[in-house]
Amino acid sequence: MKKHAQMRWLLPWIICGLGALFYSYEYFLRITPSVMTVELKHFFHIKDGALGSLSAYYYYIYTPMQLAVGLLMDRYGPRRLLTIATLCCVAGSLLFAATPILFVAEMGRFLIGFGSAFAFVGVMKLATIWLPRRYFAMFAGLATSMGMIGAIIGDN
């Protein structure tokens, strides 16, 4: 009986922690083009303006999706949406990494931006569902810290 009680206490933290791990991964993906600017310009034979456009494809969808994500989370729930968002980030990463064609790389960044839009809001929705209310602020800070750790790792 005691083991069951421990799992009941631990499971919400594992679920929310996995969401925070996705947020960290998303932040890693967000900043990675900034550390490979020289390589990207050389690989795609582009100048600074085209490189900026390649990086901006992430934000072309990320920014407008911020308006819809909260509504979608309330309607469909974080389990479905975070699963789809993670798959979009992975598919976008594979496209971005595996193509010598600039347009395909831009579409990869676009997919990454789409999936990334769900990360932080999804983590906060998980926390409201799974964790006691008194832990919400602490978990919001921990999740934000996980994002910053992803940025630090991506910048190295």
Q: Share the mean pLDDT of the chain.
A: 94
Collapse the DSSP code of 151 into the 3-class scheme (helix H, G, I; strand E, B; otherwise coil) and give the result: helix
- Sequence letter at residue 129: I
What pLDDT digit, counting tens, does each position of 104-144 carry? Answer: 999 999 999 999 999 999 999 999 999 999 999 999 999 99
Does residue 3 carry a pLDDT above 70? no
**Contact at 8 Å (CB) between 146 and 109?**
no
Phi-psi region of 131 (alpha: psi -120 to 50; beta: other; left: phi over 0): beta
The pTM for the full model equals 0.91
Fold of 18-155: Growth Hormone; Chain: A; (1.20.1250)
Does residue 9 carry a pLDDT above 90? no
Mean pLDDT of 31-43: 94
Does residue 1 carry a pLDDT above 60? no
Mean pLDDT of 94-108: 97
Output DSSP code: residue 60: H
Quickly state the pLDDT bin for 155 (edges 50, 70, 90). Answer: confident
Q: Using H for helix, E for strand and C for coil, what is the string for 1-43?
A: CHHHHHHHHHHHHHHHHHHHHHHHHHHHHHHHHHHCHHHHHHH
Does residue 7 carry a pLDDT above 80? no
Q: In the chain, where are the structural domains located?
A: 18-155
Collapse the DSSP code of 46 into the 3-class scheme (helix H, G, I; strand E, B; otherwise coil) and give the result: coil
pLDDT of 109 reads 98
Query: What percent of the chain has pLDDT above 70?
Result: 96
Residues ≥6 apart with Cβ < 8 Å to 64: none
Residue 15 CA to residue 128 CA, distance in Å, equals: 12
